[in-house]
Structure 1
Amino acid sequence: MKMEKWYEIKKGADFQAIAERFGISPVTARLIRNRGVIGDAAIDKYLNGTCRDLYDPHLLYESEKLVCILSEKIRQGRPIRIIGDYDIDGVMSTYILYQGITRCGGSVSCAIPDRMRDGYGINEHLIDAAYEEGMDTIITCDNGIAAINEIAHAKELGMTVLVTDHHEIPYVEEQGVRRYLRSAADAIVNPKQQECSYPYKGLCGATVAWKIIQLLYEKFCIDAEEAFAFLEFVAFATVGDVMELTDENRILVREGLKRLHRTANLGMRALILQNQLTPEQITSYHIGFVLGPCVNASGRLETAKIALNLFLQKNEINAGKIAKELVELNAQRKSMTADGVELAKQIVDEGTAGEKVLVIYLPGVHESLAGIIAGRIRESYHKPVFVLTDGEEGVKGSGRSTEAYSMYDEMCKCRECFSKFGGHPMAAGLSLREDVAVFRGKINACCELTEEDFIPKIRIDMAMPAAYPTIGLIRELARLEPFGNGNSKPQFADRELALLRASVVGRNQNVLKLSLMTAAGEHVSAVYFGDVEAWKQYYSEKYGQTEVDAALRGRANAIRMSVIYYPEINVYQGMESVQLIIRNYK
């Protein structure tokens, strides 16, 4: 196991007083403070926020202007074309706009870009197609904010263009001053605009689209409660697009999950059932790691129109068939990804492991998988990673970074290498102008990372004896859900636990069941779902193979473990007990 640096988050507050005011334990009070929630009003909203605490959609800059134009087009019977995007957020935004505009009597159709042919977002090909098909108005979702030239083209054709988006506003820097760019669209709704006074900037595209539908329903005197039926799709997009689960997003996801648990959407139900789940089971984890990847797989390997079609289904049998196709596409995507990761590791281990920035050229790998593979390699080596593949117009790829390396800023230092690039500190996309070897040399020559930067840093919420968590505390910790980006699942740590017994279980022999004993002599049950062979190797190197073999037979041994864990309730034959889920060990 690679070296890791564990450190405890130590943010101060009167946890006892907070606990008493909100009827929670000091442990939970400290966890809330660790997540940057400060002040009684913010804590109350974090714990008890409901739909009543959502922000008014009228606060979105130009939202009323956009809805006035849109409602007039609907009343005039003008044909409207929605242009979305090929990922989860794009599919969900398109679905929400399509259903909402249809409900108001609009003549509306959808287009989703093809990842390989069209690339991201609105483009001239899609605009020309809409124009030739007699469309009067284009409304974008989850894209459009940066489409300056494309929207200019649509305006030259005499079309009305409405933009709903959530991405960063494009700018040019002149003498150190940023000048933000604005397209010729008739109305633009994006909370990140300078002029926008909306209190929360972290919305996903589907939420922006939903806010527009809320206002549209208001215009058409449709019961406001009808718009809340879309919250399951808003939640799905918010988690799937890895938005921060803070402030308004936290409420949207929590309320959306409640609706998802009783979803009536045939496509959503079919997708859940095809993954051997039930609607009542769904958590943010399932959206992020089980259901969401099936939706994304259609946009990666085929067309995202398949996923959109799933959620529009009125026939249960057809919904089942489409959901099955998406699950199969995702299985294919996983297999292709695993092959790509294996090949990438081989290339690194055989030649480039010593470099600070890993540039891996995989010409035969599907270009849509470059980002996923880069993320996996980054996890394994804890270095910034670029994975490059052969695209239709030359070498292109994706990068994934570490906290110590601002990827976009570093790419700006050798921008001559790219015909096109963009991104942010943790991720980037690019098309190469230079040879791969030239880019590898230049990006590494610019890199100022030290050996210290390559050691993963693991944040622990608090040191807590492994035997301390009770079933009551675990139930209370559920009030912190939904977990995800910006609201991570708590991590506790204990050290010097004696290993009484280790056993490898599971259908694929890939789960480690552990019986541990604290320094105070208390017995604790734990489970580890990571790499079992790596665990064996680590402790064999540290204590010797004989000690590991003894532990696996349940015999006395010298092994002591320090662990990072999260406590869960284990139910066996109707009996509840506390079980630790181990995340890291040393």
Structure 2
Amino acid sequence: MKKWFIRNRKTDYREIAKEFGISEIVSKLLVNRDIIDKDSIKSFINPSYENFHNPREMKDLVKGVRIMKQKIEEGKKIMVVGDYDVDGVISLFELYTALKRCSADVVYEIPDRIKDGYGINESIIDKAYDIGVDTIITCDNGIAAIDTIKHGKQLGMTIIVTDHHDIPFVETEGGTRKNISSEADAIINPKQEDCKYKFKLLCGAGVAFKFIEVLYEEMGIDKSEAYKFIEYTAIATVCDVVDLTSENRIFVKNGLELLNETSNLGLTELIKVTGIENKEISVYHLGFVIGPSLNAAGRLDSAKKGVALLLSDNQEEAATLAKELHELNVQRKDITQQGVERAIEYIENNKMMRDKVLVVYTPETHESIAGIVAGRIREKYNLPTIVLTKAKDGVKGSARSIEGYNMFEELNKCKELLGRFGGHPMAAGLSLEEENILELRKKLNNQTTLTDEDIIPKLYLDMQLPLEKINYDLINDLNTLEPFGKGNSKPLFGEKGVTVVRGTILGKNKNVLKLKMIMRNGIYIDGIYFGDIEEFENVITDKYGIDELNRLYNGNCRLKLDMVFYPSINEFNGRVSIQIVVENFR
């Protein structure tokens, strides 16, 4: 069972509500998400283009744009180098399309996930040189490519980096860290220490969009033309799991509106083939339908297929590419499930249930889905997880972490056992020799300070809310906070001692539990639970006995439960009513 916590930020949310003309509940929800300064609140409430920050404040952005303008005017050959995930594909598509609009002589390249690994490399530099490329601009990569960029500069190339990843560093003998940078002619990344840009959490496509804003201005193109890229930036923003606050919220809120009316042939065909045509496109569809389809090409084929889909101006070609991407994603789902099953079997066979950090080696798992498998295992056991697979050279893997365990820092303590590694607190990638796997598992577990308490799943509630206080106005207020995601989680409320009078199992697969409850004012309200019904039944049986569970299903019980929930609207057969979506119970 999860451990519940109520957020309790000490700020005068009543004063915020009064100043900005919002309800006290919405004010408290904003405060709980650390949205407390006036500019952030204003931008959150009104996520319009006028609340974009000035892109010219980003370090080296104007410099990079002016270099690019000069190269375009001189007719120099330009190459855009992206990456194989959704963010890399979309940021490349945006820059390539914008440079074409500016009449640039431009080509593009994406590394192969298996052969090349992440980001720009020397073989890409050499290929660019061989075809006469004068200038390279990276997107969603390049900040850590110190030696690669040095190689490009030695060949006489001009190189512009646009990226959003953490700044690389070296450790001195005293253990302090010193940031390092490449010899690129312009380095555009809001995370640089001396970058004064107000928002640091853009994805790669967000940084590319900022570049395009200024490029269009400098090239005499109406800046509003850049806004057509917002629908694509929205996809990358959701799929790269950056915080949906400030400018990211502006991208996603407005991008969803544009996507629902998209004129992009490739996206239109992808929406059709994935079965979400005539549905309102939401954050869910970006993160779990469109994004994974674009991602699947980079995992199992070539990410260039995703770029080709977005660039396509031929309906037949777009339909073919969309079908291929969809089929690749179906295949990816199948091999992911196989990978998860292998990982669980490995954990059980190797008696790892007492480990605080799971190091799983399944050589047959496709290395492109190691990160997804690690994420699924992390969710199942709520433990930091590393999934390793057999690669062309040694062993490669991906890591996913939990709150309170800094995966990058912990791997850094084991660097003598590793080849290459990199990442951040919640995720990392690594390589090592096969003979070091067992030692890595031992060292990570011996050095961890994680306790049994730390690995209990945590659920954060925004506030206690009596069910009888729920009404349509409150639900409308909550809807204004959408889209939900990282940094702006769906609000969760709690209530103790809710009286449940009936339970009904619904759904084709019997996987939905409907609960009828009676509120303190004597009025009934429905609740819907999409969790583990068997677990629910076991909890009731263990506490009250099988007879009480039978009475629940027969509709003659008065069961008391504490609940975590989210209020929503249920529309069925033309009837509209308020219901709660039950997230957890005890």
Whether TM-score is above 0.5 comes out as: yes
- Residue type matched to 2:339 in 1? G
CA-to-partner distance for each residue in 1:14-60, whole Å, 9 max, x for gaps? 44443333333221111111111224443222211311111111111
1:566 aligns with 2:561: no
1:265 equivalent in structure 2: 264
Name the TM-score, length of structure 2 as normaliser. 0.96
Whether the 8 Å contact between 2:343 and 2:360 is mirrored in structure 1 is: yes
In the TM superposition, 1:217-228 aligns within 5 A as: 217-228=216-227
Q: 1:219 and 1:416 mapped to 2: Cα distance?
A: 49
1:495 aligns with 2:499: no
- 357-366 vs 251-260, which moves further: 251-260
In the TM superposition, 1:458-473 aligns within 5 A as: 458-473=459-474
1:253 equivalent in structure 2: 252
2:394 equivalent in structure 1: 394
2:291 equivalent in structure 1: 292
2:575 equivalent in structure 1: 575
In the TM superposition, 1:547-558 aligns within 5 A as: 547-552=548-553, 554-557=554-557
Aligned-residue Cα RMSD (Å) equals 1.7
SS in 2 for 1:452: coil
Q: 1:555 and 1:67 mapped to 2: Cα distance?
A: 68
Whether the 8 Å contact between 2:367 and 2:389 is mirrored in structure 1 is: yes
- Residue type matched to 1:421 in 2? F
Q: 1:560 and 1:333 mapped to 2: Cα distance?
A: 43
Deviation at 1:355, TM superposition (A): 1.1
Whether the 8 Å contact between 1:261 and 1:279 is mirrored in structure 2 is: no
CA-to-partner distance for each residue in 1:273-298, whole Å, 9 max, x for gaps? 22222476112222122221111111
- Residue type matched to 1:10 in 2? N
Q: 2:128 and 2:567 mapped to 1: Cα distance?
A: 54
SS in 1 for 2:454: helix
- 399-408 vs 531-540, which moves further: 531-540
Q: 2:136 and 2:37 mapped to 1: Cα distance?
A: 44
Q: 1:549 and 1:318 mapped to 2: Cα distance?
A: 57
Deviation at 1:523, TM superposition (A): 1.5
- Residue type matched to 2:229 in 1? F
Deviation at 1:549, TM superposition (A): 3.1
SS in 2 for 1:352: coil
Q: 1:195 and 1:448 mapped to 2: Cα distance?
A: 34
Deviation at 1:420, TM superposition (A): 1.2
Compared CA separation, residues 41 and 192, structure 1 to 2 (3 A): closer
Whether the 8 Å contact between 1:499 and 1:560 is mirrored in structure 2 is: yes
Whether the 8 Å contact between 1:100 and 1:213 is mirrored in structure 2 is: yes
2:509 equivalent in structure 1: 508
Compared CA separation, residues 64 and 43, structure 1 to 2 (3 A): closer
Deviation at 1:166, TM superposition (A): 0.8
Deviation at 1:176, TM superposition (A): 4.1
Compared CA separation, residues 310 and 398, structure 1 to 2 (3 A): same
1:476 aligns with 2:474: no
1:78 equivalent in structure 2: 76
1:339 equivalent in structure 2: 338
Q: 1:361 and 1:577 mapped to 2: Cα distance?
A: 50
Compared CA separation, residues 565 and 451, structure 1 to 2 (3 A): same
2:212 equivalent in structure 1: 213
Q: How many residues align?
A: 583
In the TM superposition, 1:433-472 aligns within 5 A as: 433=433, 434-472=435-473
Compared CA separation, residues 249 and 462, structure 1 to 2 (3 A): same
1:522 equivalent in structure 2: 523
1:328 equivalent in structure 2: 327
1:125 equivalent in structure 2: 123
Q: Determine which of 89, 94, 103 is the counterpart of 2:101.
A: 103
- Residue type matched to 2:539 in 1? Y
Name the TM-score, length of structure 1 as normaliser. 0.96
Compared CA separation, residues 41 and 227, structure 1 to 2 (3 A): closer
- 448-457 vs 529-538, which moves further: 529-538
CA-to-partner distance for each residue in 1:500-555, whole Å, 9 max, x for gaps? 22222222222222212235543221111222333233333333333323323x33
2:585 equivalent in structure 1: 585
- 134-143 vs 495-504, which moves further: 495-504
Unaligned runs of 5+ in 2: none
Compared CA separation, residues 337 and 466, structure 1 to 2 (3 A): farther
Whether the 8 Å contact between 1:253 and 1:482 is mirrored in structure 2 is: yes
Compared CA separation, residues 48 and 374, structure 1 to 2 (3 A): same
1:69 equivalent in structure 2: 67
- Residue type matched to 2:187 in 1? I
Q: 2:391 and 2:165 mapped to 1: Cα distance?
A: 24
SS in 1 for 2:468: coil
- Residue type matched to 1:70 in 2? M
In the TM superposition, 1:8-407 aligns within 5 A as: 8-174=6-172, 175-278=174-277, 281-350=280-349, 351-407=351-407
- 413-422 vs 540-549, which moves further: 540-549
Whether the 8 Å contact between 1:515 and 1:525 is mirrored in structure 2 is: yes
- Residue type matched to 2:44 in 1? Y
Percent identity over paired residues = 47
Deviation at 1:165, TM superposition (A): 0.7
- Residue type matched to 1:255 in 2? N
Deviation at 1:343, TM superposition (A): 2.3
Compared CA separation, residues 105 and 279, structure 1 to 2 (3 A): farther
SS in 1 for 2:79: strand
Whether the 8 Å contact between 1:80 and 1:135 is mirrored in structure 2 is: yes
Compared CA separation, residues 279 and 243, structure 1 to 2 (3 A): farther
- Residue type matched to 2:259 in 1? L
- Residue type matched to 1:575 in 2? R
Compared CA separation, residues 344 and 550, structure 1 to 2 (3 A): farther
Deviation at 1:93, TM superposition (A): 0.3
Q: 1:279 and 1:143 mapped to 2: Cα distance?
A: 36
SS in 2 for 1:369: helix
Q: 2:65 and 2:106 mapped to 1: Cα distance?
A: 15
Deviation at 1:346, TM superposition (A): 2.6
Q: 1:59 and 1:580 mapped to 2: Cα distance?
A: 45
- Residue type matched to 1:129 in 2? K
- 318-327 vs 393-402, which moves further: 318-327
Q: 2:503 and 2:342 mapped to 1: Cα distance?
A: 32
Unaligned runs of 5+ in 1: none
Whether the 8 Å contact between 1:563 and 1:585 is mirrored in structure 2 is: yes
Q: 2:186 and 2:12 mapped to 1: Cα distance?
A: 47
Q: 1:349 and 1:25 mapped to 2: Cα distance?
A: 50
- Residue type matched to 2:428 in 1? A
- Residue type matched to 2:548 in 1? E
SS in 2 for 1:556: coil
Deviation at 1:379, TM superposition (A): 1.3
Deviation at 1:317, TM superposition (A): 2.8
